[in-house]
Chains A and B, each alone.
Chain A
C-alpha cells in the first residue's frame, strides 16, 4: 500500500514539475519498475537454545567474563574426545516442531558439516543434513489488515552446535574464544513463501515470539541468540520460475531485516532491468552504509562434504515423548492474541501489546479474574490501565512485569473503584505510587479521604458559587464564547479538591448555563 501511494504521489509531482520532468520521470519509472516484479523470500533462523549445558558436553552455557573459561576436551575438539547428546536439545527441537505444526521424525541422525575456520576447532560442525528432526510445518503470520494472516511453510528444523567467536579488531591477529563452541542451536528454515520485506519481518517476529513463549530461546537478535539469514530472488509478476537466489547474511536486528531485504529487492530488480545476469552468491548487509555487499566468492566456496556423524548414534523420538511434550506446550502467541480479542472483547491492537510477552498476557488475565464484575467494559479498562500506567512504570524502571510490585488483585481493585465512579481517573493515577508501595487502593482512598463526590447537592452548591464569582465570564459565555465551558469545569473540580465526579459537574454546569 505504501509503495502504491508513494508512486501515485510521485507521478502527480512529476506531472506538476513538467519542466524538470525528466529526473522525476526516471524516478517514478523506477518505482513502477519494481511493481512489475515480485520477490521470493525465505528465511533461515538460528535460535540459541536456553539449556544449562552445551549440546555435546557438560560445559556451562552461562555468560562468562573470561574467554575460554567454559571449555573441555569435547568443545575444544581435542583428539579422542567423544560427544554425548544433551537430552534437552531434543526436547526443545521437538517443542519448536510441534509449535510450528511440523512432522517429527521418529529416527534422525547427526551429520558432520566440514569446513575450515579458526573458531571451529574440530574442523566440522555437528549438524543434521538429510532427514532433520522436524519437517514440513507452517506458521501463520499477520499481514496488512487487522487480524488477517498468511500461512508460511516451515521446510525443516534441525539441531546443531554453535561455533566459537572470532574477534578480528582487537589484536593484529585473530583472537578466538571457545565459550560458545558447542552451544546448542536449532535452525528453522522457512519455505520461499514471503513476498515482501514486511512479511519477512512479521515472520521473524512470530518465530521470535514462539521461541520465547516456549522458553527455549531468549530471542535477542542484537546479542545473537537469534540470527537470521535471508534468501532472496526476484521475478516478473506472473512468472512461474524462480530467479537467481541470493543469500544475505548479518541481519542482526529487526530494522536491518526489513531494510536489507528492501535494498536487495531493489538492487536485483535494477540489475535484471539493466540486462545483467545475476549470479548465485552470498552478500553481507552493511548496517553502516545501508547496502548489501558481495562476499568474495572464495571465502564461501564451501564444499561441506556432509557425512553421518560416526561418534553419535541416531536420535529416536517416541510417540510417548511427543505426547508428553505436547502436554507441556503453552498457548502460542497468535492464538492467544486471537483469544484475547474474542474472549475479552479487546481491540486487536490491545491484544497485540498484551500478548507481546507471555508474562504480560498472564498478568492481564490474572487482573481480569480478580474483577468482581466480569464484563468486557471492565476488561477494556484493565487493558487501558496496563497499557498506559503499568507499562510506563515498567519502561521507566527498565524492568519486566515479573518484577512489577503490584499484585493483579490491586490493579483490579483500582479499576473497579474507578469504574464504579468512586474515584476519578485523576485520583486513580494520583494514588498509583501508594499502590506501587504495596498499599491496597481502597485503603489509600480511605486513608486520604479521596472518595469521589457524586452528591449532586454538594456539587451544585459549588457550581453556583463558581458561576456567581465568575459572572463576567458567564456573560461572555452566553454571548458565544463557548470554550469557556472547560474553564468552569476545571474551576469547579479544583474547588472540590479534584474529588468531584466530572460527569456530574459537567451535567450540572450545562443545566445552569442553559
Chain B
C-alpha cells in the first residue's frame, strides 16, 4: 500500500501536474483526511453487503437518436486559451 505522500505524487504524475514540496505537503494533509474518513468503513463487517454502484436503483433514462443543434464554432472555442483557425491549440503532446 502506498503512503499518502506517494499517492499525492502518483496522482500529480498521472495528471501531468508538478507541485512544489510545500504544495505537496498541503495536499498530503488533505488527502490523508479524506482517506482516513473512507477507511472508517473498514471497521464494519460488510461481507454480506452487495457492492453499490448507484444510489438510485432505476435504470438510466435514454433518449432517441435524433440530432439537436450544437454550439457554434465560436461558442465552442470561446474559453480556449489559444486557437488556430477553429482548432483548440494545446502544448505539444508528442515529444520528438
Tell me which residues across on chain B come within 8 A of A171, comparing CB atoms.
Answer: 84, 87, 89
Q: Are B67 and A86 in contact (CB under 8 A)?
A: no
- Which residue of the partner chain, among B10, B63, B64, B70, contacts A70 with CB atoms under 8 Å? B70
Q: At the interface with chain B, which of A150-158, A174-182, A389-397, A425-433? A: A174-182
Tell me which residues across on chain A come within 8 A of B67, comparing CB atoms.
Answer: 52-53, 58-60
Task: Given A66-B86, A67-B86, A176-B90, check contact A58 B63 (CB 8 Å).
Answer: yes
Interface set of A (CB-CB < 8 Å, partner B): 51-53, 58-60, 66-73, 76, 84-88, 90, 107, 109, 114-118, 123, 166-168, 170-178, 302-303, 305, 308, 310, 312-316
Question: Complex Cα distance A70/B93, Å?
Answer: 23
Q: Are B84 and A175 in contact (CB under 8 A)?
A: yes
Check if B49 is an interface residue, CB within 8 A of chain A.
no
Min CB–CB distance B87 → chain A (angstroms): 4
A-B contact pairs, 20 of them (CB 8 A): A59-B67, A60-B70, A67-B85, A68-B86, A68-B87, A69-B86, A71-B71, A76-B71, A84-B63, A86-B64, A88-B64, A115-B14, A118-B90, A166-B93, A173-B82, A174-B89, A174-B94, A175-B88, A308-B54, A316-B59
Nearest neighbor of A117 in chain B, beta-carbon distance: B93
Q: Are A315 and B89 in contact (CB under 8 A)?
A: no
Check if B73 is an interface residue, CB within 8 A of chain A.
yes
Nearest neighbor of A164 in chain B, beta-carbon distance: B88
Question: Complex Cα distance A308/B56, Å?
Answer: 13
Interface set of B (CB-CB < 8 Å, partner A): 10, 14-16, 53-54, 56, 58-68, 70-71, 73, 76-77, 82, 84-94
Q: Are B92 and A168 in contact (CB under 8 A)?
A: yes
Nearest neighbor of B59 in chain A, beta-carbon distance: A316
Tell me which residues across on chain B come within 8 A of A115, comparing CB atoms.
Answer: 14
Number of A-B contacts (CB under 8 A): 130
- Which residue of the partner chain, among A66, A88, A109, A177, contacts B65 with CB atoms under 8 Å? A88
Q: Are A69 and B70 in contact (CB under 8 A)?
A: yes
User: Which label, helix, strand, loop or mixed, suits the secondary structure of the A interface?
Assistant: loop
**Residue picked from B10, B61, B63, B76, most chain A C-beta under 10 Å:** B76
Question: Complex Cα distance A90/B61, Å?
Answer: 12
Tell me which residues across on chain A come within 8 A of B77, comparing CB atoms.
Answer: 68
Nearest neighbor of A54 in chain B, beta-carbon distance: B67
**Residue picked from B10, B62, B87, most chain A C-beta under 10 Å:** B87
Q: Are A308 and B85 in contact (CB under 8 A)?
A: no
Q: Are A85 and B60 in contact (CB under 8 A)?
A: yes
Question: Complex Cα distance A90/B62, Å?
Answer: 10
Question: Complex Cα distance A208/B62, Å?
Answer: 28
Question: Complex Cα distance A105/B88, Å?
Answer: 39
Question: Complex Cα distance A67/B19, Å?
Answer: 34
Q: Are A66 and B73 in contact (CB under 8 A)?
A: yes
- Which residue of the partner chain, among B65, B68, B87, contacts A87 with CB atoms under 8 Å? B65
Q: Are B87 and A315 in contact (CB under 8 A)?
A: no
Q: Are A173 and B71 in contact (CB under 8 A)?
A: no
